[in-house]
Structure 1
Amino acid sequence: MNGRSTVPGLLRQRAADTPDAVALCHPDGSTLTFGQWDRSTDALAAALAADGLRVGQRVALLFDEREWFGFATAFCGVLRAGGVAVPLSARLPPGQLVDRVTVAGAVGTIREGCAVPPELGGWQRRPADADANADAVPDRATPAGPAQIIFTSGTEGSARPVVATHGNLTHGHDATPGRRQLAHSRHFLHAFPLGTNAAQTMLLTGLTAEPAALVMPRFDAAEVGAAVEEFQVGTLFLVPAMARELLDSGELHSRDLSSVVLVGTTGDVLPGSVARALAEALPYATIVNTYSSTEAAPARTTMVFDSRRPDAVGRGRVRITDDAGREVPTGEVGHVWIGSAAPPRRYLDGGDTGTFRDGWTRTGDRGRLDDEGYLHLAGRDSSTIHTGGTTVSPFTVEQALREHPDVRDCAVTALADPVLGERPAAVLVTRTGAVPADLRTFLAGRLSGAEIPQRVVCVAALPRNDGGKVVVRALRDLFPPVGSTATAAPVTVVERHLADIWATVLGVAAVGRDDDFLALGGNSMSALRLARLVADQFAVPTPVSALYARPGLAEQAAWIADRIADSP
């Protein structure tokens, strides 16, 4: 046995200390004890070794979300046999599964509860096929050896495989009695999908936490609320998207959830408005957000919600640098690096120098440190919008959008513009199902003109991946091409004359009363020309700001008509 600095070593220690204690449980009442987990891990490791699995070879794990017990056994069994586990989500399309298994270089697949694409081949042994009464096998894992390959979220591009060693995974985890985590209750709950970094963190937490892990096959607000109430859950782990859904569901007010004393969120930034609502709904709970990444873990910052700095993501080992890698002064925005004493992770496909350096990991975010060392994020490096000569942070625009009382959720992306290069555009989830009529006026007091989204669409739900993160590359598909949808013809005399002016300024054949000047390609220069022509045509003073605040043809025409009516 290689001791507690390997994952199966932690399991062996916990099984020796508390063999009959429940490690994992389902809401249906089924349980897996540490002793059972350790014995089934031994059996699978022996079977894999007998089948010829060599130290360092990679094995893909493909499990239905309901099969957490089997997944836990498979993960530890592969590692005890000296292999490297490649957890994958069963929700991925077959083609993506094949691609990821190929990229990871897996020699076989262990699965349970779901089909395996025929192209994968190799092992298709279910953990349940192994003899759970097999004798203990020598642990071939080593602290410095690779333990897992997990893919990044791929929200902005291709997902990349990240390698973590046993030493990386076990860093900060201690199964020693008296030092175990979350000792304030008998259960902690999470509903993170298998194959995500958050789920892997929960598996390691389950090995070393005092309470049992109550695992949900998927997130459903009603089911989570019922499970928290029934099992008197003390700690609830969520991603921010789950927190929003839980708040909107009403479950936090309709059930007795007074047992919850800690809510931990991870995987994304927890908006201040969501944290504040959680704190109000769960008055006995401490709300803690953890900021990290698949590449950086276990390096992280943690932030207990503080209404005085609601947008901060905590303190920790953080550096902010410029493009050349030099640290910038306090308050200045730059690239975010977070550090840890744990052995670092690495990309399987190389290209590590820009991300991993001397115990520090670059997260891909931009941010700043305030005078007290708290980290404030300013958006992703790759998502910065360059519109004309101005740089716009989608993160900043999203923060302003979330302040609107009708906006439940939002995401901002860039759309191509023939004059300015790019323009910000917003996708909203609202309480009414429509874009708020006062949205542009509301944002005008909070954002600069360049930051106000020029196109806005409303959807029922944002496109998100299994980990709850917005799939940025899918946002642009939600905006129909300019001119691709027909709108109603102008009705009033002012609308018809204004439509003719628009057509001249924008160079388009026809304009409808529901069209948007900015969405049709209007910019600051064409808006100046529009303002002059409107002033000449209708004999009313027309500031450009008035047109920008009312980009729709019908609303511009109504504004003009009001000015005509008021004129002497």
Structure 2
Amino acid sequence: MTVTLTDLLPSQLRRSWAVDGTCPDLDLYSLFRARQIADLHRTAILDAKGKLCYTALDRKVRCLAEGLRGLGIGAGDVVAVQLPNDRNAVIADLALAALGAVALPFPVGRGAVEAECLLRRAEAVSVIVATEHRGRTHAADLLALAPALSALRHVISAGPGTAPEGTIPLRELLRTDPTGFVPARPDPDSAARILVSSGSEAEPKMIAYSHNALAGGRGNFFASLMPDDTPPRCLFLVPLGSAFGSNGTAVTLARHGGTLVLLDHFTPEAALAAVREHAPTHVLGVPTMIRMMLDALEKTADPLPAPTALVLGGAPLDEATAKAAAEAFGCPVVNLYGSADGVNCHTGLRHLVPPTDGSGVVAGTPDPRVAEIRIADPDTHEALPDGAIGEIVSRGPMTPLCYVASPDLDARYRTPEGWVRTGDLGFLDDEGVLHVVGRLKDVVIRGGANISPAEVERELVSHPQVRDAVCVGVSDPLMGERLAACLVAKGSHLPSLADLGTYLTGRGLDRHKHPEHLLLLPELPLTAAGKPDRAALRRRIAEEQGAGFVRA
């Protein structure tokens, strides 16, 4: 049985974007193939193994597609992919698109329990998984879970090391004779990829995207960051298996004919070395990664080749980080507001440093060729006038089809007209610029008073002795919750809670919003998608509360 993926957008609206040219109206493999024919020997991938040109990549894609077809995988089948950032991940993406199958990629850092949940709910028929990566034996772990997954027929083991008995080595499929392979040519409005959200739900959300939504809607987003028709060279610091990473194969290669610069594991030193060696036009990452790179840059005087843009998303970007990054990298810093659920807006290339104000995050001007954005009443869903704060809702060419196997999420987050409810609060000013001010649910309730962690984080990272900050709620028997600040300090002087309180008062932050717990760390833990791991921080705080934990 194949999981049902229904498009929740009105069909006439979806088709209108193909008719008017907003979306290319071709499947991802056809788009890639056109790019390959146009420039046979352009470099497609730069990874730990070296260069791979478009023609060599296309041959490997056809080999794998024919090998997968021989296993009985075809149109509409969901195939999970858990691989590090390397050529195998790209080959798998394109091979599945060529078959008309649906790719379900997720980062290698996610554990077997979460992987089992994704494969079960998506009714995945196969999984292409790393044999071993940084001490994790993903292939063996998923093979052990296979008996409990009724739809799963094959575990395909990729990468160095011995493939566990019972799995199919990817290298064998890549030796398949591709001579007779004929691509499937799926409907461009059919499902191509399932994005996995790293949100706060009990189970990860899965969101189905069409070929047109990826190459068209998301492709238009990236086109706005390309000052001319020169194909981009993109350094992905985030996993290709994350929602942010969906701008890799589908957008950078298939839509724009560019080059992917890939690191199988992020470290600030490796990232800086890649910038120096490969001179990417675009660096895509999250603010925490850039702060780590800025720390590493302080230890060297070697200049960096200036990219076209530093594109930062996945977490709020503060003014101090943006200014330091613009100076260090010598290029515009783009603040990207977006999510797997189907929203995108950014500050563009006109600003070296993204504009800021005191009300929240300035997210830029919405682009209807990507996603139209409105502000709605959270209860009635009625549109609100400019300047009024409400829920940010989005609908446009990049809007996904639906949530996967989750009618409850479709009912909660999609309106009958197809608008996506983001759960974020914001407003549009009189110039049409979007401002994001917080989350409907992401509040700490202290004695009945609401505190926005994002608001406090914005102020903390502007402190001269704070490199990075994440605020989370801590359970408290008296107040219900109190706010904890988890900080990475800058320099040798470690700020105290008293120091922070004085500073926040000077910044105009009400006393009841001040952190009442402090956790100092050498660096913030990151999720598999590269975002700050708030759940890990809460666990760390819980462990230390009874062991001399700092409290106001």
1:232–1:307 CA distance, 2 compared to 1 (3 A): closer
Cα distance between partner residues in 2 of 1:111 and 1:390: 46
Determine if the alignment matches structure 1 residue 408 to structure 2 residue 453.
Answer: no
Q: TM-score, normalised by structure 2?
A: 0.80
Deviations 1:315-366 (A, max 9, x none): 1032222222123343332211233234533211222133223343222222
Say if 2:309 and 2:334, in contact at 8 Å, map to a contact too: yes
307-316 or 6-15: bigger deviation:
307-316
> Matched residues in 1 for 2:225 and 2:493: separation?
46
Instruction: Tell me the CA shift for residue 94 of structure 1.
Output: 2.4
In structure 2, what is the equivalent of residue 498 of structure 1?
Answer: none
Aligned with 1:346 (options 390, 402, 411): 402
Query: Does 2:274 align with 1:227?
Result: yes
CA–CA distance in 1 between the matches of 2:362 and 2:501? 26
Q: Which of the residues 56, 63, 66 maps onto 1:36?
A: 56
Pick one of 362, 376, 397 that aligns with 1:321.
376
Cα displacement (A) at 1:98: 2.3
Match of 1:129 in 2: 172
Amino acid of the residue matched to residue 102 of structure 1? R
Residues in 1 aligned to 2:131 and 2:78: alpha-carbon distance in whole angstroms: 21
Normalising by structure 1, report the TM-score. Answer: 0.77
Map of 1:380-459 to 2, 5 A cutoff?
380-431=439-490, 432=492, 434-436=494-496, 437-445=498-506, 446-459=508-521
> Structure 2 vs 1, CA of residues 165 and 480 (structure 1 numbering), >3 Å: closer, same or farther?
closer
CA contact (8 A) 1:183 1:210 kept: no
Partners in 1 of 2:444 and 2:362 — Cα distance?
A: 22
Q: Does structure 2 retain, via aligned residues, the 8 Å contact 1:192–1:218? A: no
State whether structure 2 residue 22 is matched by structure 1 residue 7: no
**Counterpart in the other structure of 2:534:** 472
Please give the root-mean-square deviation of Cα atoms over the aligned residues, in Å: 2.9
SS at match of 1:399: helix
Choose the corresponding residue for 1:209, options 231, 251, 256: 256
- Note if contact 1:222-1:251 (Cα within 8 Å) is conserved in structure 2: no
3-state secondary structure, aligned to 2:441: helix
* Aligned partner of 1:331 among 387, 391, 396: 387
Change (3 A) 1:254 1:222: farther
The 1:456–1:102 alpha-carbon spacing in structure 2 relative to 1, beyond 3 Å, is same
Give the deviation of 1:183 after TM superposition: 4.5
Change (3 A) 1:89 1:344: closer
Q: Partner amino acid for 1:201? A: N
1:194 deviation in Å? 3.7
Equivalent pair of 1:24/1:206 in contact (CA under 8 Å): no
- 1:155–1:472 contact (8 Å) kept in structure 2: no
Partner amino acid for 1:71?
A
| SS of match in other structure, 1:277 | helix
Query: 2:100 is aligned with what amino acid?
Result: G
- Per-residue deviation, 1:196: 0.7
Cross-structure match for 2:89: 71
CA separation of 1:192 and 1:235: change in aligned 2, threshold 3 A: same
Q: Displacement, 1:276? A: 0.8
Partner SS state of residue 450, structure 1: helix
CA distance in 1, matches of 2:76, 2:477: 51
Please say if residues 384 and 390 of structure 2, whose CA atoms lie closer than 8 Å, have aligned partners that are also in contact. Answer: yes
Structure 2 residue aligned with 1:46: 66
1:539 corresponding residue in structure 2? none
Assess, with a 3 A threshold, how the Cα gap between structure 1 residues 172 and 151 changes in structure 2: closer, same or farther: closer
Q: What does residue 283 of structure 2 align with?
A: 236
Larger Rg computed on CA atoms: 1
Long gaps (5+) in structure 2: 1-23, 133-137, 147-151, 157-167, 367-371
CA distance in 1: counterparts of 2:464 and 2:70, whole angstroms: 61
Identify if the C-alpha distance between structure 1 residues 330 and 286 changes in structure 2 by more than 3 Å, giving closer, same or farther: same
Q: 1:174 to 1:342 in 2, by over 3 A?
A: closer
Shift of 1:45: 2.2
Partners of 1:137 and 1:69 in 2: CA distance: 22
The 1-side partners of 2:200 and 2:302 are apart by 35
- SS in structure 2 of the partner of residue 475 of structure 1: helix
Distance 2:270 2:324 in 1: 20
In structure 1, C-alpha distance between the alignment counterparts of 2:122 and 2:38, rounded to whole Å = 35
**Percentage identity across paired residues of the two chains:** 26
- The Cα offsets for residues 35-58 of structure 1, whole Å up to 9 and x where unpaired, read as 222222222222222322242111
The letter of the residue matching 2:302 is R
> Of residues 332, 337, 349 in structure 2, which corresponds to 1:286?
332
Structure 2 residue 111 is matched with structure 1 residue 61: no
